[in-house]
Amino acid sequence: MDELNSLFHGFAVLMTPANFLLMIVGITLGVLVGVLPGLGGANGVAILLPLTFSMSPTSAIIMLSCLYWGALFGGAITSVLFNIPGEPWSVATTFDGYPMAQKGEAGAALTTAFTSSFVGAFLAVIMITFLAPLVASFALEFGAPEFFSVYLLTFCSFVGMGKGSPMKILGSMALGFALACVGLDTVTGQLRLTFGFEEFMRGFDFLIAVIGLFGIGEILLSMEEGLAFSGKNAKINPAVVFQTWKRLPQFWVTSLRSAAVGIWMGITPGGATPASFMSYGLAKKMGKNGANFGKGEIEGVVAPETAAHAAGTSALLPMLALGIPGSPTAAVLLGGLLIWGLQPGPLLFVEQHDFVWGLIASMYLGNLVGLLVVLTTVPLFASILRIPFSIIAPVIIVICGIGAYTVGNAMFDTWLMLIFGIVGYLFKKLDYPLAPLVLALVLGRNAEDSFRQAMLSSQGDVMIMFSNGLVGSITTLALIMLFWPLISKIIAKIRPPKEDEFAAHREAE
């Protein structure tokens, strides 16, 4: 009941004219960010973050989080109409969304994608509403060892559960840790890794890194690929919407399963992209029409969109309650909280009541308004893609440059952004993930401080990480996550083959 009272208070905060207007602006910009390949939720938030410094933290987080919801919606438009994923998590939507558009069912595919996104987000927000205060109150018992063990669990989960080579994830994370160490040591007051450059004394600002890595890096990659837009036109009329809504309830099992997968992948650092692929794979395997997936099956749109939005929304739970982001965009928002002078974690619910519950209220209303916006403005946003990419790309680069310069009012930051853009481009070409680098850059210093405090209190005894049941269980789980790729290979070798696998092996012989 306390949660409901707090939620109603959050709606009162959200419904002030200024905050409501910022919510609409955030959603509209977010859809635009989602539609344009080369921009993404994380980069859109990063570019606009410097513009929020003069706002109150509550107003700023409402606008930026609504931009995030809009980006999640907008990615489906290009996936369905142009077969171009506006966001990485929209790739799975192209598998059946674009074939539906080819068959003249673009309106039904878009309605399905938008409605499924709303359902996934709504279920995730309900979970956040009732679970976040419990997690926060539990986390009040944490000390330095417990906080470090949670940071360790986050980093190890990226290695063990991340998509791609564990060694590449480790390499990306190691670079992030190295960048986080540059500047003034908060414990000893000494300079580290500045190599005589005065500009490095304040360290690498995560915002400049994110703008370069995600924004400039994606633009360079898109320019190299010679991206051109071509696709189907779409108009969504009320008849198509209501006809599609009549069909969607038959996929309620798929929706619930996909939402569960998305919520889990959002709380753990899996993210929206693997959640969408995992849900699509489960729906294809367990659905009645799995054989038709890839040919324009409506269930093939329901599964990835529900999971992606559920994951994107639930990623904010660990950020708010523990100060640990579950996605790249959540990592950018975490940096924003620190810039605004707020300390993410359990005390945030006590000290910044309006902030937390205003944000949670914006999740409810923002996703509902986002659904209405995209259903009514699809032709408008789709027409933006008729503009040549040679015009769009320079505009995005200029916006990124302005955002980077605004951080410290220094031209050095703009050059640094370009360097990070080249790094982001190389990472994409070499298939190195960017999310672990950003996570380590944002959390590296906090993790280091927690570890050093724990070591000082234990006089250098590492076994303090197993000194009680709580910290010991979290540390053990972190180690399991770290070595999970190796553990899974060992299990696969010891496990006896199934009968069908054995028969196939015999036939091969």
Q: How far apart are CA 60 and CA 359, in angstroms?
A: 10
Nearest to 407 by CA among 455, 339, 354: 339
pLDDT at 241: 77
Q: What does the radius of gyration of the chain's CA atoms come to, in whole angstroms? A: 23
Q: How far apart are CA 345 and CA 331, in angstroms?
A: 14
**pLDDT surpassing 50 at residue 231:** no
pLDDT (average), residues 191-207:
74
Give the least confident one: 34-38, 291-295, 426-430, 454-458: 34-38
Per the prediction, the chain carries an average pLDDT of: 75
- Between 419 and 192, the more confident residue is 419
Decide: helix, strand or coil at residue 204: coil
Q: How far apart are CA 500 and CA 486, in angstroms?
A: 25
- Between 107 and 178, the more confident residue is 178
The structure tokens listed for 406 are: 């605004």
pLDDT (average), residues 263-275:
69
pLDDT at 251: 83
Give the least confident one: 38-42, 272-276, 288-292: 38-42
CA 39 to chain centre: 13
SS (HEC) of 222-244: HHHHCCCCCCCCCCCCHHHHHHH
Tens digits of residue pLDDT in 79-118: 777 666 556 667 677 778 878 877 777 778 888 888 888 8
Q: How far apart are CA 473 and CA 284, in angstroms?
A: 36
Q: How far apart are CA 180 and CA 218, in angstroms?
A: 23
- Between 487 and 3, the more confident residue is 487
Tens digits of residue pLDDT in 396-439: 777 677 767 766 677 888 888 888 888 888 888 888 877 678 77
Residue 317 confidence class, pLDDT cut points 50, 70, 90 = confident
pLDDT (average), residues 123-129:
83
Tens digits of residue pLDDT in 60-84: 878 887 887 787 777 777 677 766 6
C-alpha dihedral over 264, 47, 117, 96, to 10 degrees? -100
Q: How far apart are CA 418 and CA 425, in angstroms?
A: 10
pLDDT at 269: 55
Residue 378 confidence class, pLDDT cut points 50, 70, 90 = low
Q: Where are the alpha helices (DSSP H) in 83-105?
A: 91-102
Contact (Cβ atoms closer than 8 angstroms) between residue 136 and residue 129: no
Cα atoms in the Cβ-side hemisphere of radius 13 Å centred on 324: 26
Residue 376 confidence class, pLDDT cut points 50, 70, 90 = confident
Cα atoms in the Cβ-side hemisphere of radius 13 Å centred on 97: 33
DSSP symbols for 377-433? HHHHHHHHTTS-HHHHHHHHHHHHHHHHHHHHT-HHHHHHHHHHHHHHHHHHHTT--
pLDDT at 300: 84
pLDDT at 461: 83
pLDDT > 90: percent of the chain: 0
- Which residues are CB-contacts of 336 (< 8 A; sequence separation ≥ 6)? 45, 49, 52, 60, 61, 64
Residue 216 confidence class, pLDDT cut points 50, 70, 90 = confident
pLDDT at 275: 75
pLDDT at 230: 47
pLDDT (average), residues 327-337:
73
The structure tokens listed for 82 are: 């142009």
The structure tokens listed for 340 are: 């605004």
Residue 446 confidence class, pLDDT cut points 50, 70, 90 = confident
pLDDT at 142: 67
* Count of other CB atoms within 10 angstroms of residue 259: 28
DSSP state of 496: P
